[in-house]
Amino acid sequence: MLSKIKPLSLRKVRIEDAFWSARLETNRTVTLPDVYQKCKKTGRIDAFKLNWKPPKPNQPHVFWDSDVAKWVEAASASLATHPDTKLEKLLNGVIDLIVNAQQPDGYLNVHFTVVEPEKRWSNLRDNHELYCAGHLMEAAVAHYEATGKGDFLDAMCRCADHIDTVFGRGKGKKRGYPGHEEIELALVKLYRATGERRYLDLGRYFVDERGRRPLYFDIEARARGKKPYEYGASHQAHLPVRDQKTADGHAVRAMYLYCAMADVAAETGDKTLLAACKRLWKNVTHRRMYITGGIGSSKDGERFTTDYDLPNETAYAETCAAIGLVFWAHRMLHLEPDGRYADVMERALYNGVLSGVSLDGSKFFYVNPLTVHPKGFRFMYAAYFEPVRQEWFGTSCCPTNLARLLASLERYVYSQGKNEIYVHLYVAGAAEFDLAGSKVRLTQKTQYPWKEKVRLIVRPEKPAEFTVALRIPGWCRAASLKVNGRAVRLARITKKGYAKIKRLWKSGDTVELTLPMPIEQIQANPNVRMNNGKVALQRGPVVYCLEEIDNGPNLSEISLPADATLRARYDKDLLGGVTVITAKARRRDDSLWKDCLYQSASSKTKVVNIRAIPYYAWCNRKPGEMLVWIREG
């Protein structure tokens, strides 16, 4: 066991937060039912009845099971914090369908039971059998944890047992691993829920086997009579995982793999795996991540490209990839409590994840560019990706992924270690910790991310000595702290991004953390060629953008002088309540232009007022242009 700290279970945390509560409520009351309806309407749920036959419509797709699984996971997490008998009944019905679809040998996959049964396990690279099984396992664990009921969990254990008979290094077993990672981390969850070591071993096998030569994807391609070809980097199979030094290929797959690597490292104590995770973490967060926490810059292959290759308008930055980054950051944070991990987790949550869902919870972005011009957007991403959020997609991984992350946001706020309480995120509410057998209740009051004050009231059952570790966000350069009204020198007690207050706590002790949030003009590393000469506005953890509705069309005409006075003002009526940033900026004087494309340069500009809103909230009014990186000057 490498992990130093553990997350709290969902039930131990309550969120009552000016920023998040409304979003979570919307997730529960709008997104969750909507996503269910979409799964129902598209045939994804009824597919588990296994009665599809050609030429019926809605032929079950190879990845359909995963969408239902993520809904089950989300609904289960929701039940854990918000009991709801109607939802529970609905959920039970879906789980019955899933469990009944399991084959006698434990195999469970709709497509390869009713559409192409002869192709079971024949193309791990392109199909999604192990991926779907993994999501169903995650769902089963979530359902068990939320309800205590074991039927789904038992079924998925049988499924894992079956998979264990098919894959591995034993004689007669296939030396395969999934083209889309997911089952690896799910098997570790299954191990944690059941204590069955074989599941951890199988998950570890999938991680360890990946990328070894001869490449399994080639072997199985040959067995299908197909040309073997090196396609490994897209699937993180170009090298054994411990030899991978840069984040390559499909970004969501990479995140799920890295999560599994962190999980296996945590459970087995494998430091070579931890070292690989840390190298990859550095590569992603120091070279390949948008300021929004979006990752995977290329549409082609939904993948990472090269260091510093972060185009704004063609950014893919799939919502699922940012969610995957949150998952991974959370795991790294528990392996090594360091604010750098929580900083990235926060960056993604408040920006590139949240941008994926509309404020009303009913519409989703699959891709999250940092500049959008509606006309160009349509051409870049084809009709499938409109420059407005959509209710659903053909490949609809993002809506259900958002639903399950938001339904379990409680998990990300705190952790507890041996005699330590960790506060990672500043989200108002309360939590209950067990420290050496003694209960400690912690209440958090804050208007974060809009306001700079955070108040924590600590209530141990009886006075006790332990540590409260408060994250000092990386974006904050002048944090200050008081305990029971008395200032504490932060530098002295802050280590790896956490201020550690060790003392004898008595009920009612109050910690007051101040995180000044000046508006910052942020530059990108000069190697990010797209952003030279540009700045992004950030205040606290929130990245801002300009929208056409506030600033008129042709946003790239606008430039911001380095000495511009930037003002922040909270507007409770705008976009569910946001702090907006205003400034005087310049705009190119286009009155000089007739209907021609090129002419001699003029430096004429006019002064304009600009208004920036949080990036996550864009495209919730009239659709139009959007821009994060503003020209300097």
Question: Contact residues for a copy of itself (CB under 8 A)?
Answer: 282, 285-287, 289, 291, 298, 300, 305-307, 309, 311, 313-314, 371, 373, 375-376, 379-380, 382, 520-530, 532-533, 535-536, 554-557, 559, 562, 588, 590, 593, 595-603, 631-633
Separation of alpha carbons 296 and 98, rounded Å = 33
Considering beta carbons, is residue 94 or 380 the nearer one to a copy of itself?
A: 380
Nearest distance, CB of residue 601 and a copy of itself, angstroms: 4
- From the candidates 320, 397, 545, 619, give the one annotated as an active-site residue: 397
Q: Give me the helix-helix angle, 151-166 and 85-100, nearest 10°.
A: 30
Nearest distance, CB of residue 544 and a copy of itself, angstroms: 13
In the β-sheet with 486-488, what is the strand arrangement from edge to edge? 13-15, 429-435, 438-446, 453-460, 509-514, 480-483, 486-488
Considering beta carbons, is residue 273 or 380 the nearer one to a copy of itself?
A: 380
- From the candidates 181, 182, 302, 452, give the one annotated as an active-site residue: 302
Considering beta carbons, is residue 177 or 377 the nearer one to a copy of itself?
A: 377
Amino acid letter at 268? T
Please measure the distance between the N-terminal and C-terminal CA atoms of the chain and give it in whole angstroms.
53
434: which strand partners? 439
Amino acid letter at 345? M
Torsion of CA 543, 545, 549, 555, to 10 degrees: 180
Pairing of strands 429-435, 438-446: antiparallel
Nearest distance, CB of residue 57 and a copy of itself, angstroms: 16
Nearest distance, CB of residue 521 and a copy of itself, angstroms: 4
Separation of alpha carbons 366 and 317, rounded Å = 8
Sequence-ordered list of residues with C-beta below 8 angstroms from that of 201, at least 6 positions apart, any chain: none
Considering beta carbons, is residue 489 or 529 the nearer one to a copy of itself?
A: 529
Radius of gyration of the chain (CA): 25
Nearest alpha-carbon partner for 630 in 543, 567, 549, 540? 543
Torsion of CA 274, 276, 278, 281, to 10 degrees: -130
Residue 93 burial (C-beta neighbours within 10 Å; 0-12, 13-18, 19+): exposed
Considering beta carbons, is residue 155 or 310 the nearer one to a copy of itself?
A: 310
Tokens of 97: 């369908």
145 tagged catalytic: no
Nearest alpha-carbon partner for 357 in 327, 324, 391, 321? 391
| C-beta separation of 359 from 5 below 8 A | no
Considering beta carbons, is residue 175 or 631 the nearer one to a copy of itself?
A: 631
Considering beta carbons, is residue 243 or 590 the nearer one to a copy of itself?
A: 590
Helix or strand or coil: residue 409?
Answer: helix
Separation of alpha carbons 467 and 505, rounded Å = 9
Q: 534 — phi, psi (to 5°)?
A: -130, 155
Full DSSP string of 213-273: SSPHHHHHHHHTTPPP---GGGGT-SS-GGG--S--EEHHHHHHHHHHHHHHHHHH--HHH
Q: Give me the helix-helix angle, 151-166 and 129-147, nearest 10°.
A: 150
Considering beta carbons, is residue 292 or 401 the nearer one to a copy of itself?
A: 292
Nearest distance, CB of residue 346 and a copy of itself, angstroms: 14
Tokens of 131: 């991926």
Q: How far is CA 396 from CA 71, 102, 135, 391, 400, in A?
A: 12, 23, 14, 9, 7
| C-beta separation of 401 from 323 below 8 A | yes
Considering beta carbons, is residue 417 or 623 the nearer one to a copy of itself?
A: 623
Nearest distance, CB of residue 214 and a copy of itself, angstroms: 23
| HSE-up of residue 482 (Cα within 13 Å, Cβ side) | 10
Considering beta carbons, is residue 85 or 591 the nearer one to a copy of itself?
A: 591
Q: 6 — phi, psi (to 5°)?
A: -130, 145
Nearest distance, CB of residue 225 and a copy of itself, angstroms: 16
302 tagged catalytic: yes
Nearest distance, CB of residue 129 and a copy of itself, angstroms: 28
Nearest distance, CB of residue 55 and a copy of itself, angstroms: 15
Considering beta carbons, is residue 195 or 379 the nearer one to a copy of itself?
A: 379
Nearest distance, CB of residue 173 and a copy of itself, angstroms: 35
Nearest distance, CB of residue 284 and a copy of itself, angstroms: 10
60: preceding bond cis by omega (within 30 degrees) = no
Nearest distance, CB of residue 394 and a copy of itself, angstroms: 16
Helix or strand or coil: residue 503?
Answer: strand
Considering beta carbons, is residue 51 or 603 the nearer one to a copy of itself?
A: 603
Q: Mind telling me the catalytic residues?
A: 302, 397
